[in-house]
């Protein structure tokens, strides 16, 4: 995701040092209905279902700026909080993404107590000229969006062929989604970490899926998350905010 995945305003760690950190970071709140509380289903199925609910909200008018004012922030961050387990299943290689993703989702969880919709947080930051400012809710929304897209792209690559290794799938997904926003040092660190990824079979096992079910659930997430990702992009673009950051 963004380069702040390796550094923040309160830290002077180098990219290499930061990617090796393993803080015990966790989501501030486990939303109701998360996989941790569910009586049945797998983590991947819980994520897919949550994003299908968001997609249904968009189709039902929840994405229009009129009426209810757009996609509500609380259910959005509830769904996003479930995705952290997917990063965790990828192991040390994606620790950099998990760390940043969890921190950004935590910020949006707090923001959901004051802002009703995604539109509201962006418009607030536009008013205060802080959209791209590190630590702003809009910037954190942009980073969470990249995390969702990274998982989507990884799943697409994973499903493209049964012979595709997780390393190949993750490398391609990272190159498509995150690499354009990272400097050379970060890209090199991530590339080295790809060798620590679990095997295809190990990932399926960690997700508590089978060869058949993992294809079904990954495709559900791909289909449901795509309109959400596009909706977030459109919110920025419709306000003349480029996506090159």
74: Cβ–Cβ under 8 A, 6 or more apart, which residues? 112, 116
**Residue 199 is assigned to a structural domain of this protein:** yes
Provide the number of structural domains found in the chain.
1
Q: Is the pLDDT of residue 7 over 50?
A: no
**Residue 15 is assigned to a structural domain of this protein:** no
Q: What is the pTM of this model?
A: 0.83
**Residue 27 is assigned to a structural domain of this protein:** no
| Of 16, 236, 228, 8, residue with least CA distance to 100 | 8
Q: Is the pLDDT of residue 68 over 60?
A: no
pLDDT in tens, 75-102: 999 999 999 999 999 988 788 778 889 9
Mean pLDDT lowest for which of 5-19, 79-93, 137-151, 192-206? 5-19
What's the CA gap between 112 and 71, in Å, rounded?
12
**Residue 12 is assigned to a structural domain of this protein:** no
Q: Is the pLDDT of residue 50 over 90?
A: yes
**Residue 183 is assigned to a structural domain of this protein:** yes
**Residue 24 is assigned to a structural domain of this protein:** no
Instruction: Supply the pLDDT for residue 23.
Output: 35
pLDDT in tens, 53-67: 999 998 886 554 434
Mean pLDDT lowest for which of 1-10, 11-20, 77-86, 99-108? 11-20
Domain carrying residue 49: 33-237
Percent over 70 (pLDDT), the chain: 80
CATH number of the CATH domain containing 157: 1.10.3520.10
pLDDT in tens, 201-219: 999 999 999 999 999 999 9
**Residue 2 is assigned to a structural domain of this protein:** no
Instruction: Supply the pLDDT for residue 52.
Output: 98
Q: Is the pLDDT of residue 104 over 90?
A: yes
**Residue 86 is assigned to a structural domain of this protein:** yes
Q: What sections of 83-240 are H helices per DSSP?
A: 84-89, 95-111, 118-127, 137-160, 166-177, 184-193, 200-206, 211-237
């Amino acid at each position: 995701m963004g380069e702040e995945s390796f550094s923040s305003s309160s830290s002077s760690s180098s990219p290499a040092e930061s990617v090796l950190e393993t803080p015990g970071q966790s989501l501030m709140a486990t939303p109701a209905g998360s996989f941790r509380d569910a009586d049945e289903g797998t983590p991947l199925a819980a994520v897919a279902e949550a994003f299908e609910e968001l997609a249904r909200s968009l189709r039902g008018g929840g994405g229009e700026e009129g009426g209810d004012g757009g996609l509500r922030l609380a259910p959005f961050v509830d769904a996003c909080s479930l995705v952290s387990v997917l990063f965790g299943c990828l192991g040390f290689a994606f620790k950099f993404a998990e760390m940043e993703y969890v921190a950004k989702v935590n910020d949006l969880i707090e923001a959901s107590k004051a802002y009703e919709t995604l539109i509201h947080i962006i418009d607030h930051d536009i008013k205060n000229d802080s959209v791209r400012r590190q630590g702003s809710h809009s910037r954190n929304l942009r980073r969470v969006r990249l995390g969702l897209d990274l998982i989507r792209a990884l799943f697409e690559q994973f499903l493209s062929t049964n012979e595709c290794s997780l390393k190949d799938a993750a490398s391609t997904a990272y190159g498509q989604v995150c690499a354009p926003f990272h400097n050379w040092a970060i890209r090199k660190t991530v590339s080295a970490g790809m060798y620590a990824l679990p095997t295809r079979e190990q990932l399926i096992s960690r997700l508590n899926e089978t060869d058949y079910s993992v294809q079904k659930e990954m495709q559900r997430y791909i289909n449901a998350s795509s309109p959400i990702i596009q909706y977030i992009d459109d919110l920025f673009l419709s306000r003349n905010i480029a996506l090159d950051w």
